[in-house]
A and B are shown apart, each in its own frame.
Chain A
Amino acid sequence: MSLDFTEVAVSNVARHYGRRKALSQVSFACSAGEVVGLLGPNGAGKSTLLSILATLVEPSAGEVTYGGYRAAAAGAAVRARVGLLGHDLYLYPELSARENLAFFARLYGLPDVDARVQRGLEYANLVDRADDQVLGFSRGMRQRLALERALVHGPRLLLLDEPFTGLDQSSAAALVGRLRGLQDDGCLIIAATHDLDVAEGLLTRVLFLRQGRIVSAEEGGLGLRTRYQLAMRAS
């Protein structure tokens, strides 16, 4: 049922909603151990690209391959290796933190659910609040829990949409540490973010998007904020 891959390739992907072009001719490839940043203004197509990578949205043109497998062909086997932390956090507010993690662990058909849930709660620093309804959690607590929800099945490809939203400085630092650990474990991370200061130093590569197109892709050089400004100005 499950397959593994170490590379994701996006080839000439476009996505249209009626006459509006959300993405045009987007191509790039990335490998396990990379942390790729998707940067750009609102409406640049970052979330659409993440949805396509998560196999939730079909591209209007082009294709995405996961170690050579196309999502349409591999279906559930690819989805089993993808984790997504969306802008909405995909948590059930009426359920407790423990119930949320356990539900998703069981949905993925994972063994040792209790141990995985406990580990997730520890990473999210929510052991004390494990049996409280998510309804009463702060945005930061929900964000931490949602990340563990996205990681409960140990995905190879982790997609993050604004992962630092609502996190205080120490929580953001903890998240950066957690993502570095995942990177070291061979996880391929693609993150769309506006928090350039927090993302600086974490991202190994940056794709700048504007109006659905990649306007610049670079690996280093100047500071992230300066590169962002230059990329946006040049386009």
Chain B
Amino acid sequence: MTAFFRVAWLIFRKDLAVEARSWELVSTTVFFSVACLLVFSFALINEGQAVGDVAAGILWVAIAFSGTLALGRTFERERQTDTLRALMLAPADRPALYVGKLLGILFLMLLTEVILVPLVALFFQAPIVDWPLHLAALLLAGTLGYAAVGTLFAAMLVRARSRDVMLPILLYPITVPVIIAGVRGTAALFQETPDAALAQFWLALLVFFDVVFVTLALWTFEPVMTE
């Protein structure tokens, strides 16, 4: 078991080191998500006031779209240098490779959210400080579920010619439950009178999805990666 986590940690640290040298994923993901937010704010803010209760939806759309961008690129790197084959050749548990890549994606997406959430609060007057722990838990659980499925699909599609097109086509339908739970839970916290109990219900559902998705991904990673 320690070997499993050692390998996952190694992959995660390596991905961070590569990213620290290139800043490719952080810069594109943050830029894209902020641009997404700005477009929505131009369309939906009238005289300083957001039209309707849209902040939660916009936040999760920006997270999902920028996450897809990051998912595609992180495996594209391994494909360009064919290092994925070197990883698969190592005598390590292959699910540990998956966990390492998942941690890297999760870290990147959470980093993007650290920038995104205050901007949503600023543009759409979302009350992010009223229930900060609930909000953080919803974001963490939702992002984990999304990244768990996305990492598996991105790895599966790494050798496919039409991977850039196929990734969102496969990913979005499967992660609809995660997005819905994330949006509804966050909306419950952002409404005029925040409903913590409702947010907790959606959080519990997200945790359930996380357990299902991570378990399935760990179970299927090795067979789907075998040529």
Contacts and interface: CB of A to CB of B under 8 A. Distances in A.
Contacts of A56: 85, 88-89, 227
A55 B89 contact: yes
Interface string B78-121: 00011101111111110000000000000000000000000000
A28 interface: no
A46 interface: no
B17 A107 contact: no
B85 A90 contact: yes
Contact of A58 (B17, B21, B92, B226): B226
A84 interface: yes
Interface stretch (B3-11, B49-57, B176-184): B3-11
A86 B6 contact: no
Bin the interface of chain A by size: 20 to 34
A82 B89 contact: yes
A88 B81 contact: yes
Nearest to B84: A90
A56 B175 CA distance: 30
Nearest to A58: B226
Contacts of B82: 86, 88-90
A57 B227 contact: yes
Nearest to A17: B227
B46 interface: no
B18 interface: yes
B18 A107 contact: no
B80 to A, nearest CB: 8
B89 A79 contact: yes
B21 A133 contact: yes
A230 interface: no
Contacts of A57: 227
B21 A149 contact: no
A80 interface: yes
Nearest to A89: B81
Nearest to A149: B86
Nearest to B225: A56
A76 interface: yes
Contacts of A1: 91
Contacts of A54: 89
A178 interface: no
Interface stretch (A98-106, A183-191, A193-201): A98-106
B10 A103 contact: yes
Given A107-B7, A109-B3, A91 B91 contact: no
Contacts of B86: 84, 86, 90, 104, 149
B93 A90 contact: no
Contacts of B18: 92, 94-95
A86 B86 CA distance: 9
B10 A106 contact: yes
Contact of B81 (A76, A79, A92, A109): A92
Nearest to A75: B91
B162 interface: no
Contacts of B227: 51, 56-58
A77 interface: yes
A82 B87 CA distance: 13
Q: Which of B86, B87, B226 counts the most chain A CB atoms within 10 A? A: B86
A54 B81 CA distance: 18
A63 B222 CA distance: 20
Nearest to A134: B81
A141 to B, nearest CB: 15
B83 A90 contact: yes
Interface in A141-158: 149
A108 B90 contact: yes
A68 interface: no
Contacts of A99: 17
Contacts of B10: 103, 106-107
Interface in A93-131: 93-95, 99, 103-104, 106-109
Q: Which of B3, B85, B87, B91 counts the most chain A CB atoms within 10 A? A: B91
Given A79-B91, A92-B81, A109-B3, 6 more contacts: A56-B85, A77-B91, A84-B86, A90-B82, A107-B92, A109-B92
15 contacts: A51-B227, A56-B89, A76-B92, A77-B91, A79-B91, A80-B91, A84-B85, A89-B82, A90-B81, A90-B83, A90-B85, A91-B81, A94-B22, A107-B87, A109-B6
